[in-house]
Amino acid sequence: MVKIENISTMANGWREVLERSRLVPPPSQTVRRAFDSHLTRSHGVQLRVGRLTATHLQKEISEVKPDVTYQIRATLFDRTHHCCFGRTWKSSMQRMKNNKIPFNEVLYFHTSLQLPSTVVVLELVELSPRPDGSQQALGRGFTILDLFNNRAEAQAAPEDRRLDLLHGSPRSLFHPLLKDPVGFSGLLKSIEGAHLEVVVKSHPALVPMMHLLPENVLVSGDENIPGLTASPTGDALLRPVLLKTLPFNLNRLTISLQPSLEKFESQLLQLINADCHNTKQQAQEGSLMAVAIQERRLHVGVHNSWCFTDTPQVVILEPLASGVRGRADSTSKQSTLAQDSSATSSAPLTLGLRSSLEIQLTNHQALAITFQLEYVFSAPIGREARLPTTSTSRAAFLQCLRWGIWYPFQESADWKGKDIQLVLQGGAQPNPHGVMVYSTEMSAKTASPAQLSAPGTTQVSEEKDMIMFRLSSSFERRAYSPKASLRTKQEDVSRQRRSPSSPSLGKYRVICRNYVQASPPESPQGPKLSLSQLAATSRYPTISYSSSVLPWQQSFPSLLHPSPLASAHQLSHVASSGVGSIAHLEMDLQQPDRDASASSQDEENQLQELPFTAVHAPVITLGLNAPSSHSVSSRRSLAHLSSAGFPDIMDCSGEVAEVFDPTEPMPFDPHREEMDPLQDNMLVFQFLAFTRIPMAGACPDWPNNIYLTFQFYHFPPVTSQQLKLLSNDKVQQQASDPLPCVLTPINNDGSVNPGAPGLQVQFKVDQKVLKPGEKRWFLRYLSLHTMHIDIWDSDSLLLIGSTAIELKYMLRQGKKAVQALHEVDVLTTDYVGDDTPLTSTDLHQCSPSNPMTVQTVLRGRLHIRTGNIGKAEPCSRKPADVTPSLSHIIIPGEVTRGFRGGSLSPRNILQINESIANMLSQGITTHHLLYASLGSAEYMEFVLKNPFNIPQTVTIVSDDPELSVITNTEEWRYFKALTKTPTSVEENMFHLEDNAPGPRIFLRPKESLHVPLKYQSFLCNHAMSPQGPGFPPTGKSSQLAKKNLSNIVAAKTVKVSFKGEDGKPMAICQVNVEPTPHVVDQTFRLYHPELCFLKKSIRLPPWHTPSGVTAGDPDARTHIAVHCSDPNIICQTRMLVPGEPQDVYLKVPGSPSPHIKMFFVMVFTDEWTAAPSQIWKIYVHFMERVDISCVTGQRSCQSLVLKGKQAVRKVKCFSSHPLEIKVDPKGVFVLPPAAVQELQLKVQPWRAGGRFLYVNAVDVEQRQLVNAWLLSLSVQRPVLSKAFEVCVPVNGGRGSSRKITYTNPYTSSRVFLLRSDHPDLLQFKEDQFQIGGGESYTIGLRFAPSQSPGSVEILVYVNNLQEKTEETFCVKVNYQ
């Protein structure tokens, strides 16, 4: 047994802890105001105190002793109510140097009081030593830091501030003249030349650890906060890492009160009744004050010396016979204290818990388990002292009697498998629950009076109140302990009302501690029970006591109601009550059926989901994260491009357009663009040249021909014709500076177009293209977006890479014409597996399941010239950006048509009913033309009028779910503000019923109402053209892209009928939807095996934080939503960790090879998904997957099967890495219909690890893809025969030569081939040699020179004629 009886040490330790973490609560009015403003979530703040400049102190310092130091003290202050709250933070002491004091400290806190009145007061304090060794503090000025100027500003980004020091002390802030914040600047004077540099910003990293630190506490990063791991930088709050919590069980818990439970409770009740007798009206002699004990409760919490880490649990204790230790049979469970004295004396009672209690603990020395014994008393209501105990008019109040604390993880603690015995405290001792505790002054010092003691017994002063329990890990207990039935009910009460509601106990008084301690809002200090919940009938019998009647008597359960005693103190605190939980833990070891049912119930519970992070790397949005245009070409390359003869971009007057530098920032003035007299724009894209980048496994002259695909604004996608890469043979090529290859269009016959080099694509944007009001959106598109471009190999139809260019340099800014030359990187992603290094001990082992990583590979550089030529619009046109007023309001017109008379012939008599109905329907139909694009919501209001003289309940029915009625008032208000519609919003206007055809609205006679409607479509047509280059344009070589109507979203007509009570339409709104193309912000191409689900994540770009939201705040991204244009594709997003990047998850069903599936993903960042912030166009290429396992340097063969279709095709196969994968047949072959052609793959990789390579079968005549294969390579390293090391001098000029001797192990003559995995660094004297059996051959090695020091390992393969490896040598080259 472990006994813990050092009371003084424990009390002193808690005094130090509570003194250090003592807090002043904020004003209740401020808390209520923050709650009314929906500021319930606490937000973390980081405050960096920098350098303080104090020129006014320099003179004084020179005259005083040099022992003077300075300190900054920070305190939270409520400017409205003129009070400080929280805890004062003190910096380290610093000395002044050159009029400056370098503090450079960081403090943190979290608060939910994000109000303009919440400020931080920073005071400069001068500390000088006294003769007795203490320090004298003298204020030297202060300043005020505003944290939250208004709701729209919550420190979204780090903000540097320079605060002027003010004369005086912070106590001046309590002056009555400073009640108005405006008076601060007038009454408080600044100190000349004194200022403090601070940086304040939001710190969302505090969110996961807010339960470990109370709110409004200013702390430094180096302060000890139990529950956090120590940081090597010393700042544990910069990026807090929580310690792991483990479940533990408290079992066999009993509490023994001295001298006995019966005498303790009898004495307590007598004192309460006596106090009530003294404080209330004098009752008649012999009257009974029936104060009863309703329940006995134990609060169990975990405290980290700052606050409770979680809400303390409340359990019900029961009287048990001594020795039961938390277990009772069926008879003892029903027993109470109403037993005869003989039974009581023979078996002393203790308070026990009938089952175990689970708590979460962290292995930290400062972590403590706290216990609080609390009794629930019931008292009669009113002034009648004779009120019988069975009356239902009773009130309840709570009182803490004992408390204890235990540190389970101290160094000397050894409690595993042992009983812990802890002394419980009472009286004037600081306690973690911060409540008043029943005093034990008399009972601890003197013997009890005779009438309170059992015959023949006396109270011994050495006896102490004890709690005994055993702590064990939940993992250990689950192996042998039966499961307990846990019934938990949530109760709510104000803890502050417990003490005032208790009657005065004279010498046995209730002591109120002078310490104020705060806890986080989510972790209240102990449970709090409301009066209504205490008024419920208890499941335990109420035990009432009388000082004149012994043994104790048991009465019937009593209902508890509010009393005058409670209303005076308790009801005023109910508004600020927290939430606690009371767990009635029961277990009967004699009833196996109950235990079995609990076990079966536990087995049927659902599994809890663990935090999960996807293992696959997300696809990064290249367009939004693409590097800006830059020029890496040398002057030699630029001169080569300048002499190529590209056409110039000229303005309307024939002058060369003004040149913009894409490496410099581009200012954008929307007003200047809108006021430009040249309203028409001709946007020009000139694709000039492509610079090849050598790639492993590919030929140096790859690619030969390319074509481009891109989409500008909402014009149709562009697929260019084939472009030839022409290099200048007269100019010597350099490996370090490859010249760009000029792009030249290719004719249909394969010849090079003799015209001007380069490809020019033009987009004419005028009033015919833009609808009214669209000009502003087009300018915004140019200023903020980038255009995604895919570059393809036109021979193999393989994707070379992608790039993006910024469009903001096409804004003319009032100029006639502008142009800019871009040189952008062409990038692609390569999935490779981890490789085993050569220095590993197991060189012959390589796990086939190595994780795949994503690498960004540079494939080339594309040279593009963009331009914009302004043109004057015809005078007859209206300005493009004039939006008609009230365009979103649909007003029905007057019916002017009617029947003009005439006669009816026999032929149309049969159609008279249909004609009349059609005519009446047309008379009440209002037509409205609507321009809609994919994902964008179009808002409109229909003016509905009741033409009758009686009220009508109108049902609104739409024949298309994409056109709906806005019934939510907040959504209605949002769209009105978005469209600037100047009409009113009416609350609760619609009546919604289940299974109704639509919402209903009530109209008074002749009344008109505006009905809000919304059209929004997420579906579209996904048909796409076959993959391959386009055809050359007829006539001119310059290609003009014209706008046409979108073929993605179909045009439709939607009718909305407003039907009266008789079911007949009162009005009809016919909306004619004309689709318009949408903007594509990003294009993704994904490759996946056929007939398999594609599961992929795409990383969302870093959105700009809206005003009023803190950067990194979890609330900042609560409105991000995604929609997919294909209903068969699952598309969703969720935030895993606050402050971390957010991904969009896709699940796409598979298709057969070589099918390409195209769809759109719309990303919304507004609450009501009005308009997509981003629209992504995603292509998924499905390919046949082939798994190949091979060894580096050695050829492996794999067969593929190609099946013919309906027509005869001329097919040629291409691989993405021709030097590593060769396809046989390698030329063009004929594929008959329904025929089967076997293809032989010869794979010879040179790099170990996992890789993905591609093989395409292309129809060379139609330039279409016939089939595609995805090769998944698992490449292992060979077994090394020998290892060598050689030193090569740096800047050696000619390199270095070495020799290796190789002996033919065979008895016959053989021919061997020499291969290397680094042919650029190592060359052989002869790539092939023949030697006789048993003879030796000297292999000549030539190492290329290097310009920088380092080392590299080169593998030398000795292969036979079948490219099977005979020997492998490793040569480590050290460049020194």
Taking 60 as the threshold, does the pLDDT of residue 732 lie above it?
Answer: no
Cα separations in angstroms, 1056 against 918, 1012, 1119: 16, 12, 30
Distance CA 917, CA 1367 (A): 93
- Residue 167 neighbours by CB under 8 Å, 6+ apart: 141, 188, 189, 190, 191
* pLDDT confidence bin for 606, thresholds 50/70/90: low
At 831, which helix (H) or strand (E)?
A: strand 817-833
Q: What are phi and psi of 826, to 5 degrees?
A: -100, 115
Secondary structure of residue 443 in the 3-state scheme: helix
DSSP state of 1246: S
CA distance linking residue 996 with residue 331, whole number of Å: 60
pLDDT in tens, 1290-1305: 876 677 889 999 999 9
The predicted pLDDT at position 289 comes to 56
Report the predicted TM-score, pTM, of the whole model to 2 decimal places: 0.56
Segment 427-454 shows an average pLDDT of 60
Could you tell me the CA-to-CA distances from 426 to 16, 18, 146, 263, 437 in Å, in that order? 18, 17, 44, 17, 6
Are 758 and 646 contacting, i.e. CB atoms less than 8 angstroms apart?
yes
pLDDT digits (tens, 9 = 90+) for 1341-1362: 999 888 888 899 999 999 999 9
Least confident of 397-401, 1047-1051, 1136-1140, 1363-1367: 1136-1140
Q: Identify the pLDDT of residue 1322.
A: 92
> Which pLDDT score is estimated for 485?
36
**What's the whole-number mean pLDDT along residues 163-191?**
78
Given a contact cutoff of 8 angstroms between Cβ atoms, the answer to whether 254 and 421 are in contact is no
pLDDT at 622 over 70: no
- 3-state helix, strand, coil split of the chain in percent (to 5) is 15, 40, 45
Spatial neighbors of 772 by CB under 8 A, at least 6 apart, are 878, 880, 881, 882, 883, 884
- Select, from the ranges 665-679, 1030-1044, 1050-1064, the one with the highest average predicted confidence (pLDDT): 1050-1064
Most confident region among 35-49, 504-518, 880-894 by mean pLDDT? 35-49
| Mean pLDDT on 851-871 | 85
How far apart (Å, rounded) are the C-alpha atoms in residues 483 and 685? 74
pLDDT tens per residue, range 444-467: 443 333 333 333 333 334 578 899
**DSSP 8-state assignment for residue 657:** P
pLDDT of amino acid 894: 56
Between 834 and 1195, the higher pLDDT residue: 1195
Cα separation, 947 vs 591, whole angstroms: 75
Amino acid (one-letter) located at 1334: G
pLDDT at residue 1270, rounded to an integer: 93
User: With 90 as the cut, is the pLDDT of residue 385 above it?
Assistant: no
- The answer to whether residue 568 scores a pLDDT higher than 50 is no
Of the listed ranges 525-539, 957-971, 1046-1060, the one predicted with least confidence = 525-539
Using one digit for the tens of pLDDT, what is the confidence trace for 1162-1188?
Answer: 999 888 999 998 899 999 999 999 999
